[in-house]
Chains A and B, each alone.
Chain A
């Protein structure tokens, strides 16, 4: 079974530029998550989709970050404009269903390492 796919793996941009990340979840997984992982910290949830609807975007900086999952499969996360503090690894994860009720183990992709100069 193929895992969660992400691209690109690395991206270097200058502040105030725009950037987009792509994620393709495990086939059949209804729930998709985007996390931000700053160096030395655990992943922090940015946004959670159930099919193509947003379940939780409470920690997404909506003035500069946006995400969509139009057909309920793959997803794009965009930052516009980027700031220095956005330098981090952006992880995509998917699960069969939402975390509760039932077993909502999340499976992660390799991540995109973003450097903002």
Chain B
């Protein structure tokens, strides 16, 4: 089946540093979504990307939809302690009039104050 390869698996950084994570696939997706999950909670949508090449920002977060439609990256600038959590990429496939969300394995981010 379709799989997303998300990297890195985990990151431990100093507060104030920038962070970059990416997601690749052998399949094409029509939409890329980036979610953050805190312990004991469900994933929360951070950024949605709809067009190949699209670059979208949400505060300190920036994400891009790869030109090939097979990859996406997420950058976090000037990290702060509350950025700690697990970040998931998700690609939306389509078949006729239905869509299916495929998730990556997640990137665990830890920020040292």
Determine the main DSSP class of B at the interface with A.
Answer: strand
Check A103 against B45 for contact (C-beta < 8 Å). Answer: no
Check B42 against A41 for contact (C-beta < 8 Å). Answer: no
Check A111 against B41 for contact (C-beta < 8 Å). Answer: yes
Check A110 against B40 for contact (C-beta < 8 Å). Answer: yes
Contact size range, B = 20 to 34
The interface size of chain A toward B, counting residues with CB under 8 Å, comes to 28
Check B104 against A42 for contact (C-beta < 8 Å). Answer: yes
Check A45 against B45 for contact (C-beta < 8 Å). Answer: no
Residues of A whose CB lies within 8 Å of any CB of B are 4, 33, 40-45, 48, 50, 55-56, 91, 93, 98-101, 103-111, 113
Check A43 against B94 for contact (C-beta < 8 Å). Answer: no
Determine the main DSSP class of A at the interface with B.
Answer: loop
Extra 20 A-B pairs, beta carbons < 8 Å, given A100-B92, A106-B101: A42-B104, A43-B103, A44-B103, A45-B101, A56-B100, A98-B99, A99-B31, A99-B92, A99-B94, A99-B98, A99-B99, A99-B101, A100-B98, A101-B97, A103-B48, A107-B45, A108-B44, A110-B40, A111-B40, A113-B40
Check B42 against A110 for contact (C-beta < 8 Å). Answer: yes
Check B42 against A4 for contact (C-beta < 8 Å). Answer: yes
Check B40 against A100 for contact (C-beta < 8 Å). Answer: no
Known: A4-B42, A91-B42. A103 touches B50 (CB 8 A): yes
Q: How far is the CA of A4 from the CA of B40 in the complex (A)?
A: 15
Q: How far is the CA of A66 from the CA of B97 in the complex (A)?
A: 24
In the assembled complex, which residues on chain A have CB atoms less than 8 Å from the CB atom of B44? Answer: 108
Check B42 against A108 for contact (C-beta < 8 Å). Answer: yes
Q: How far is the CA of A55 from the CA of B105 in the complex (A)?
A: 25
Closest residue on chain A to residue B50 by CB atoms: A103
- Asked if B106 lies at the interface with its beta carbon under 8 angstroms from chain A, I say yes
- Asked if B84 lies at the interface with its beta carbon under 8 angstroms from chain A, I say no
In the assembled complex, which residues on chain B have CB atoms less than 8 Å from the CB atom of A56? Answer: 98, 100
